[in-house]
Structures are given as C-alpha cells and as structure tokens.
Amino acid sequence: MHFGSLLAALASYCDARQHRGKWLLRIEDVDESRACLDAIDHIKQTLQRYGFHWDDEAPRQSARTAIYQKALDSLIAQKQVYPCACSRLQLRDAAIGVSGERIYPGYCKRTPPDATRAPFAWRVIVPDKTFVFHDRAQGKQTQNLARDCGDFVLKRRDRYFAYHWAVVIDDTEQGITDVVRGGDILPLTARHLFLYELIGVTPPNYLHIPIAMTNDGQKLSKQTLAPPLPDDALPVLLEAWRFLGQPQLSPQPKTVEAFWESAPARWDVAAIP
C-alpha cells in the first residue's frame, strides 16, 4: 500500500462507519498474471497496522472467474456482446476518449472475426445514450458511451476479465450500496452504470475522491514508484485526512486508536476538494 491507496481506504472506511455500514475487504486480483500472494498478506498487515478493521472479506476475484463467465455467457446468448480480434496496433489511430483510452471504431462489430481463431476479446455493445448520475463529492456527471469510449471490452484477449465486468458482478452479488474510490475511476463510472442497467440491477451510490499525484503530475501508483506506507501510521493518517479536506480533529489525536475514535464522526463529504 502507498499513500494513494490509503486515501481510498480512509475515505471509504470513514464513510461506512459514519453511516453504520459494513466495510468490506476485496482483493481485486482478476488479472492473475499480476497477482502476488505476498503482496496480499502485506496489504492486510498494513491495513491492520493503520487501524482498519474490515467487517467481512469477500472472495478474491481470481477465484470467481466461473461466475464472471456465467454472467458473460448470458450476454452472449442475448447478443449483447461480440468477439473482437483487434490489436492495439490496429487501434493506434483511433481517437482518444475522456478516460484516455482509444474510442473503439467498431471494426469487429461491422466485420465479425472468425471466432474459431484465438485469441479474441468480448466487447459489449453500448447505446448512443447519455448517462447522468450524481457523484456525492463531485456533483452531476454526464457521459455518452458511444461518443466517448465506444463498445468496450468485458473479457480480454488473454482470457482475463476486465475490471468493469468483475466489479459490477461482485458489487451486485455482495450487496454493495456505496462505492468510495479515487477520482481516476470517475470517467469509467458511466460504463458501470450501463452494465448495471444491462443486467437489471440498481447501481450503488458513488463518491470519488481526489487522487494523489507525483511531482511530475502522474497518479501516485506502483507504476510511478510510489513508496510504501511507513510503519509509523499516525502522521500519515493525519496527512491523508488533511489531503481530503477534512476538519481539524480536536483534540489532536496522539495515537492511531484515538484517531479512529474521532475521525468517522467528523467525516464531511462536503469538505472533499
């Protein structure tokens, strides 16, 4: 874990506790090629050291691929998805959408590939429709999927399921009512709303928080060599609290336990920048 992941943990934890909700721990390792058991153990240990206590632990996504496939098979039967054999090289000249990805031009929808030839992905057919939702921190949001991203992938050519499909199925089965996450996912939320509509499920409420950046303007992440969280938790918790625009805690907590005794009650979504 690094400072950026701490922000999401802190915001979601305080929001859940303030509303007397449950806070779930889910290991999103749907891309098994990048999964690491040692890293999972380290994440859990860091959360505990920083004073987090989860109410339930959801199954790892890597153990749920059969469930994702069954849900995808339903869309295949309904002809809501189609196989796509396009490579990144073929899409290099496509326009870039609001999320920074290439807008899919619909090549394989117009000219279906030979589905007996591997590998191919599965893309979902998006409507020419503007999705509107209210983010609890960022306000009214609108996006037209056909214009801004095109038909998007639910299962990749390497046979791993896309984040979008996995989290929507997981949130549905696990009864998630509220999602608190980084603002980098905000441009992807309309895709999730569409998938919920497609499977006939009411979506959760969303709250997107600001993300931590490097000095050169990149998102703080493992890819940008974000340093791991230090052992001394309290100063970093207080720094994360201030980063999220939250009111000063009085009296100033002297221990991690004291921080968590006061922080959830003082949590203020309206103060998030």
Domain assignments of the chain as residue spans, ordered by start: 3-271
Alpha helices for the chain (secondary structure H):
3-18, 37-49, 65-77, 107-110, 145-148, 163-173, 189-199, 233-243, 256-266
pTM over 0.85: yes
Which tens digit of pLDDT belongs to each residue from 198-243? 999 999 999 999 999 988 888 888 777 789 999 999 999 999 999 9
Cα gap 39→57, rounded to integer Å:
16
Give me the pLDDT at residue 258, please. Answer: 98
- In angstroms, the first-to-last Cα distance of the chain is 23
Closest to 69 in 3D by CA, of 152, 155, 151, 153:
155
Which tens digit of pLDDT belongs to each residue from 36-72? 668 889 999 999 999 999 999 988 999 999 999 999 9
Cα gap 75→91, rounded to integer Å:
25
pLDDT score of 33 more than 70: no
CATH code: domain 3-271 is 3.40.50.620
